């Protein structure tokens, strides 16, 4: 499930250049008995199966870096978690190791929260499991690792700190829809002013919450 998204584009090149490393850990490797069981029925009754805390802790221990000087965090992907945002991605990009714990179907034994550093949610909606959020976070964080993309690209992307300004390419005039004249002027200081103004304008209109956060910094 994970190999397709990470086998193309920016993430693939980052892996090939050894700027990042991605490791997949199958929980069944820590499962119990000959059937490598990783989940069980919930106490108190109810539908679905719950991932066992003893299996999860063994997997976390195996994933953790033995070198205590390494900066690492264990993240539980959970609807209870803090919202994943660009500022969180920047924080994660400074780590030596990021361990993402994915649930599936009904989720985790509550006690696993004693063995993680943080809970993260990617939004207020329901998914089958944590795999897709893990892909999303990995892609978002990987591109912020030094050398993965050009520094200018990272600085001017959306949510850094405003929504991105409008961009255009050829043709200059398409069915009467024209490229703004300032972008054709060659006056780069004025172009930068225009872009910043547009970013602020768009953010104020579409995401006033982001604009307010930036003003409060």
pLDDT (tens digit, 9 = 90+) per residue, 73-109? 999 999 899 999 999 999 999 999 999 999 876 789 9
User: Both 30 and 92 in a single domain?
Assistant: yes
Domain CATH code at residue 163: 1.10.1270.20
DSSP state at residue 37: B
Number of domains in the chain: 2
pLDDT over threshold 70, residue 153:
no
pLDDT over threshold 60, residue 159:
no
User: Both 162 and 70 in a single domain?
Assistant: no
* Position 84 in a domain: yes
The whole domain housing 64 covers 9-142
pLDDT over threshold 90, residue 50:
yes
Q: Supply the pTM of this predicted model.
A: 0.82
Beta bridge partners of 75: 100, 118
> Mean pLDDT across the chain, nearest whole number?
90
Q: Which long-range contacts (CB under 8 A, 24 or more apart) does 158-161 make?
A: 158/86, 159/85, 159/86, 159/210, 160/86, 161/210, 161/213, 161/214, 161/217
| Residue 154: per-residue pLDDT | 59
* Position 95 in a domain: yes
């Amino acid at each position: 499930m994970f190999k397709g998204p990470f086998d193309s584009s920016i993430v693939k090149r980052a892996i090939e250049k050894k700027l990042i490393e991605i490791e997949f850990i199958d929980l069944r490797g820590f499962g119990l008995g000959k059937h490598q069981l990783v989940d069980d029925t919930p106490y108190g009754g109810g539908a679905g199966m719950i991932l066992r805390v003893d299996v999860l802790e063994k997997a976390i221990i195996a994933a953790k870096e033995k070198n205590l000087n390494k900066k690492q965090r264990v993240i539980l992907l959970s609807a209870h978690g803090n919202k994943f945002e660009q500022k969180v991605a920047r924080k994660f990009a400074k780590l030596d190791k990021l361990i993402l714990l994915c649930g599936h179907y009904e989720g985790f034994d509550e006690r696993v929260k004693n063995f993680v550093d943080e809970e993260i949610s990617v939004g207020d909606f329901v998914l089958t499991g944590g795999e897709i959020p893990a892909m999303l976070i990995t892609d978002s964080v990987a591109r912020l690792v030094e050398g993965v993309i050009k520094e200018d690209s990272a600085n001017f992307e959306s949510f850094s700190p405003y929504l991105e300004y409008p961009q255009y390419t050829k043709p200059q005039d398409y069915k009467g829809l024209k490229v703004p004249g300032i972008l054709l002027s060659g006056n780069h200081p004025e172009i930068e002013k225009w872009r910043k103004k547009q970013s602020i304008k768009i953010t104020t209109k579409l995401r006033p919450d982001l604009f307010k956060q930036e003003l409060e910094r």
